[in-house]
A and B are shown apart, each in its own frame.
Chain A
């Protein structure tokens, strides 16, 4: 126990980790000053985010998959009398999240380059808030002190609140969505605080010294009696179930995503929600192993309901942003199943799902945004026949759809397959029910593709709600509506290609060669499972 020492740093990489957390914060502050020069603000922000990505890569390469559980760790006292520390460190799971966030931010910034902001808002403020957001989420993932985690978990809401409420859709709806988001998350956070204090009190009653140090808590609280564990578990569970979100705590997400700018939406579903699943893995499982096992059926039921319910609702949405939100809810259901099935395959599947979902859903949302820029609407029924006019955009949309429905050969397949395959071993019923989600996924994705991309040209983008007849370009079509449509809207421009290219590459790369990713994640998942008391099956197969 290192409570006596005020500052302790283990491992030489800690300064890098600290830099990863502080650098975007610095960037956010600097960018905020360029209120009058949007171009300068944007360039500064993107440079900061790219350097940040490089920093996360440094952290990635200084991490040793086979090394200690928590690496690049460092700690300093904050409120010594309560055993609260500023302490950070990463394991394989957190590491993946950091790199994912580092890579996603420049993409989000690039995608938001020409965002139409509401009256009176500046690009500087927007980009600055995104960078601050990035710093805070980095810190959330890297925190190794439960109290610090709680504080960051709540502070994280503030920039997000302003991003939705200040920069989102028109009118009062965005205020409503922002407040709803804030209240939901805040409520969950308070329950978590109560549980965290409960943990502190339990540690004090056992060891005589109260602390919020994560390592100590997992060591001590995990041996608490089942009743105590269940109460403490519930506080954390609600916070994470709201964040993740599991049905029925989900209704804030569609509203928030619908009202956010597209880039913020990507942050919301791609990063912020991951804190929920991450929290299950990092806090619920190791700290309350007995409670986790006892209550696993509850979480599994909610997750499976999430899979089916989210899919069916996604199929019933006409707003494309809400569609993406419900798709995410279905995917979070898969992750929930993976985490609480307690096999190494399902758990690795859930962790990689966190990354892959960011890529797939992130790309889907970005492409939806690009479609909406052209068609000036997020309603699916305002579109038709886009594939003929904008083949490249349609291709990207289709690819994003394919990875969303977890087609083998795309990144999401690996994780979904692992989740289902792993959970079948311990929870066959839930696994089979979740597998039905595969059919529903095909249903909602292809439904959207069909409505937007195929059929005759129609929609606001072409100034006509009626179909432009004779698009096939047969001998009879003298007026050439296709050419006219092409002159009205353009295919992907250079910036958009640059934004989507890394995602396309990652989708295919991680679909066919996910081994490096799996190798980073696997040891940390093994450690998590060991703390729940599940022995990780040895490498038996494959001679």
Chain B
């Protein structure tokens, strides 16, 4: 870990990175309808300006000596209470600057794309306000210099994600999906929060630089606990097992949102968290192993479920789940994988955003239809979309020379190179995932762009014919730029370890070893063969035979299980949602009739007993007289007894 320096030069204005998008969001939200005319332009402008500032800061940073590249910029004191001194500060280091470029770069492209995509929406201005809010929060997440500022950005992106998933507010499914996303994220956030509490209780600070410098003083058990809790947070945000089921539902949001938030940036925050906390994970073998397991399980779940869905966006969503699984797996390999995770994260940001924008373009042309069974043969109608989409597709299946080939292959390689059983288990998981990825992506491309034009015989939901058409330039230009990234980014980052070297001050040196059962060449060949098999199987199943428009109902159990997303939702439903509901009903009942019943019961008791006692007032004077006499006799008797008894 390099020493930390106060920010100087251009870096001192890096607060503008946060301020510009935040300002945009504020103006658009407060300005209301008055800003309708130019709101989207302001939104794009602030992001592009932030990108330029990020770029300048980045170039400036590359000019510095390697030892000076970790800088901190103190803005103001946020939560100062005695030992707790949380500052609002930024940490500018290679890792955060890389993310800044990804977020503002892809974010800027998607902003531009959204101008076209959302042009028919009356509330386009508010959409841009939310997007800006998201970018600001995401930048804070990666730029913050302490776990608490990270947490602020972390929940901020959660909020933006909630608002954007629930964008089509009158669709109950959208509202439910938004709520589900926020809740599952919150479950993860509890882990993150408790990790922060433990750090503070032991180290009396939450700032990265101090935490990382002193983390070695903690007991191994504590470190493992922190690592696992951080992982819980990462699982929530990144849709990793067991909190993965919100991410596909999140596709209820508009497609640019899916591209930006639920593919390229926000969902990778978990990977960022693990990589950022590398000094913590370096010290705990158990913690790292758990990360690898989570990644491996998730990547397989994502691939398997992705094979069975017909909703184009949900297939891409499960593909995202599985690709992030790869990143998690890499991050869990520790010094052997942090930089690989970030590399894959960046290339994935390009090709997955491109794929989503392509899907959005298809939907735009197909009257917001998402069912691939109704597509087919769209290649002729939207050539640009098909080509850019195709490049993204080749990148994700790891076609030699394209982005995914470099970044994913490196991860599979690193997974195989683990010693002992780990190399076998994780390597095979990763390589099988690669094969499955090739299958479901090929299936998607064939069903959408090739084959019979099934939409010709169908009507839209509101009873019109489909008129597929190419999108406007404001939409396809960003797609093209992302496609270029899908082609070249992998090679640019990976050849000569360019990215890994740049990230060294943040993540440590990327280490390599060959402890595994296979050599690197063998692994590459194996991966390519499996991917090729996947492609061929897909061509044979959906390319050669006609695709039924109606989903076949009678299928074998693995397909049924995959369609039910491997019973993830059913599990949540039976284990958490239903018992929770019962508990809630029982408590409401108990509060009303138990506690409040007891309180009112005391009142009723008093009223009841007084009601009985007053019956003694009969109104008969003579019975009063008798009781007076009786009382007097008892009194006298008592007096006499006391007087003469002793």
Q: What residues of chain A have their CB less than 8 Å away from a CB belonging to chain B?
A: 180, 247-248, 250-252, 309, 312-313, 315-317, 344-345, 348-349, 385, 387-388, 392, 395, 402, 407-409, 414, 417-418, 420-422, 424-425, 428, 431-432, 435-436, 438-439, 442-443, 446-447, 450, 453-457, 471-476, 512-515, 518-519, 522, 526, 536-542
7 contacts between A and B (CB under 8 A): A385-B169, A418-B81, A421-B84, A421-B200, A473-B122, A518-B80, A541-B85
Q: State whether the Cβ of B78 lies closer than 8 Å to any Cβ in chain A.
A: yes
B170 A454 Cβ-Cβ under 8 A:
yes
Q: Which of B116-164 contact A (CB under 8 A)?
A: 122, 148, 151-152, 154-156, 159, 162
B81 A348 Cβ-Cβ under 8 A:
yes
B170 A541 Cβ-Cβ under 8 A:
no
A538 — which chain B residues lie within 8 A by C-beta?
Answer: 82-83
* The residue from A248, A312, A473, A541 contacting B583, defined by CB atoms under 8 A apart: A312
Q: State whether the Cβ of B38 lies closer than 8 Å to any Cβ in chain A.
A: no
Interface residue range, chain B: 35 or more
| With A312-B583, A408-B155: A539-B82 Cβ-Cβ less than 8 Å | yes
Q: State whether the Cβ of B198 lies closer than 8 Å to any Cβ in chain A.
A: yes
C-alpha gap A123/B87 in the complex (Å): 48
| With A418-B79, A450-B175: A251-B183 Cβ-Cβ less than 8 Å | no
Chain A residue at smallest Cβ distance from B89: A542
| With A515-B80, A539-B83: A312-B170 Cβ-Cβ less than 8 Å | no
- Known pairs A395-B29, A432-B194; list 16 more (Cβ under 8 Å): A248-B595, A316-B584, A316-B585, A316-B588, A344-B81, A409-B156, A418-B84, A422-B81, A457-B170, A515-B76, A518-B80, A522-B81, A526-B82, A537-B204, A539-B85, A542-B205
C-alpha gap A539/B179 in the complex (Å): 40
| With A435-B190, A443-B183, A446-B182: A542-B585 Cβ-Cβ less than 8 Å | no
C-alpha gap A473/B156 in the complex (Å): 31
Q: State whether the Cβ of B176 lies closer than 8 Å to any Cβ in chain A.
A: yes
The majority secondary structure among interface residues of chain A is helix
* The residue from B32, B172, B183, B200 contacting A424, defined by CB atoms under 8 A apart: B200
B81 — which chain A residues lie within 8 A by C-beta?
Answer: 344-345, 348-349, 418, 422, 518, 522
C-alpha gap A442/B462 in the complex (Å): 36
B462 A476 Cβ-Cβ under 8 A:
yes
B585 — which chain A residues lie within 8 A by C-beta?
Answer: 316
Q: How far is the CB of A425 from chain B (nearest CB, A)?
A: 5
Q: Which of B24-69 contact A (CB under 8 A)?
A: 29, 32
Chain A residue at smallest Cβ distance from B149: A408
Q: Nearest 8 CB-CB pairs, A to B?
A: A542-B85, A424-B197, A454-B175, A316-B588, A408-B152, A251-B596, A537-B83, A541-B85
B148 A417 Cβ-Cβ under 8 A:
yes
The majority secondary structure among interface residues of chain B is helix
Chain B residue at smallest Cβ distance from A443: B183
A348 — which chain B residues lie within 8 A by C-beta?
Answer: 81
C-alpha gap A439/B169 in the complex (Å): 23
Q: State whether the Cβ of B196 lies closer than 8 Å to any Cβ in chain A.
A: yes
A388 B169 Cβ-Cβ under 8 A:
yes
| With A446-B182, A454-B175: A424-B77 Cβ-Cβ less than 8 Å | no
* The residue from A435, A436, A471, A541 contacting B210, defined by CB atoms under 8 A apart: A541
Q: State whether the Cβ of B166 lies closer than 8 Å to any Cβ in chain A.
A: yes
Q: State whether the Cβ of B555 lies closer than 8 Å to any Cβ in chain A.
A: no
A515 B77 Cβ-Cβ under 8 A:
yes
Chain B residue at smallest Cβ distance from A471: B170
- 0/1 interface trace, chain B 162-186, chain A, CB 8 Å (1 if under): 1000101111101110110011001
C-alpha gap A238/B421 in the complex (Å): 61
Residue of B80, B122, B156 most packed against chain A (CB within 10 A): B80
C-alpha gap A409/B87 in the complex (Å): 14
* The residue from B82, B178, B193, B583 contacting A344, defined by CB atoms under 8 A apart: B82
A475 — which chain B residues lie within 8 A by C-beta?
Answer: 462
Q: How far is the CB of A403 from chain B (nearest CB, A)?
A: 12
Q: State whether the Cβ of B189 lies closer than 8 Å to any Cβ in chain A.
A: yes
B174 — which chain A residues lie within 8 A by C-beta?
Answer: 454
Chain B residue at smallest Cβ distance from A521: B81
